[in-house]
Amino acid sequence: MNTAIPYITDDFIENNCHFNDLVEALKDGFSNSAIEVPMRHHHDFHNPDEDKDSTLLLMPAFNPGKELGVKIVTVSPNNGKYNLPAIQGMYLYLDAHKGYIKAILDAKSLTAKRTAAASALASSYLSRKDSSSLLILGTGALSINLIKAHCSVRPITTVYVWGRSFEKAQRICDALKAESFTCTAIAKIEDKIAEVAIICAATLSATPLVFGEFLKKGQHLDLVGAYKKNTREADDQAIIKSSVFVDTYQGGLKESGDIVIPLSSGILSKESIKADLFELCSTTKLGRTSDSEITLFKSVGHALEDLVAASYFYSLFQNKKSTLF
């Protein structure tokens, strides 16, 4: 009997992801009260060669009697200079009844896909249904995934990409030439930020890139970067002008400066945060309530997303394998 543990690679995940399906799977997951998610372990550790901390994340989740998993991830902010992704890791996907490992998945693509799908899921509740334009801030591994995910839930025809390197922004646009939307690299955020329906920030910036003075009625702001308490992608004015939503209260209120700093200063209160994805997906709370409302979604990631995505890709992998025999 072959007892080898299946290994699901980044290539498989990249080539077999359909964001419409993954978004629906996440919607079902956030509606499933049986899934248990402990607070993730978040450990910063010194990285002497870079003179900048790296981070170790351990993210478990359990669907009792069915499946469980844990993601082991490192975040090394300076990896760009080595032409490596900032996020590295593996996901262990297990049987929750007998405890054996069902599969090991590369965490880089798994994380990128589930993060992008979570943003798209939030957008399906928070952006205007007629949103046709998108501005992406950041040129990392998440950027193309976020573009495709957002386009899977809204009729987007125009995409703009900004990065600290214009050349990297242009490379993203070049990689998306065959898509149904136009994609244009821009040199300054201010050139387009007031014109687009959706603004998505996925950077490692320690200081704000999105300033509330530029935001217009009806926009949706998706904040994906700023994963530490002392870093943020949007300023106080953006928070003040927006209806604020988070992926989960568990992590969203504690892990990112985009929420922690305004809470600490009194700019934002816990009570004023409108809803998290559990409440949106279970329809216990509303998302956007008017076309003029500015909505802001802060994502820090959640282990439920990893478990749902691992289950999704494991099923695809098993189906593909069965067709070979």
Residue 189 is assigned to a structural domain of this protein:
yes
Of 235, 275, 227, 276, the C-alpha closest to 254 is 227
Give the span between the Cα atoms of 117 and 306, in whole angstroms: 11
Could you tell me what percentage of the chain is helix, strand and coil, using 3-state DSSP and rounding each to the nearest 5?
Answer: 35, 25, 40
Domain identity same for 186 and 206: yes
Query: For every one of its 325 residues, what pLDDT tens digit does the chain have, with 9 covering 90 and above?
Result: 357 899 999 999 999 999 999 999 999 999 988 999 998 888 999 999 998 889 998 999 999 999 999 999 898 989 988 988 887 899 999 999 999 999 999 998 999 999 999 999 999 999 999 999 999 999 988 999 999 999 999 999 999 999 999 999 999 999 999 999 999 999 999 999 999 999 999 998 889 999 999 999 999 999 999 878 899 999 999 999 999 999 999 888 988 899 999 999 999 999 999 999 999 999 999 999 999 999 999 999 999 999 999 999 999 999 887 665 5
Residue 2 lies in a domain: no
DSSP state of 267: S
For residue 45, list its beta bridge partners: 54
Identify whether 15 is part of a domain.
Answer: yes
Do 287 and 315 lie in one domain? The reply is: no
Closest CA to 26 of 257, 304, 216: 304
Same domain, 242 and 281: yes
Asked if 85 and 140 sit in the same domain, the reply is: no
Reported pTM: 0.91
296 lies in the same domain as 165: yes
> Which CATH number belongs to the domain containing residue 20 in this structure?
3.30.1780.10
Would you say 128 and 98 are in contact if contact means Cβ atoms under 8 Å apart?
no
* Same domain for 199 and 162: yes
For residue 139, give its domain range: 118-301
88 in Cβ contact with 185 (< 8 Å)? no
Domain of 257, CATH number, reads 3.40.50.720
Would 132 be classed as within a structural domain? yes
Q: Say whether both 106 and 123 belong to one domain.
A: no
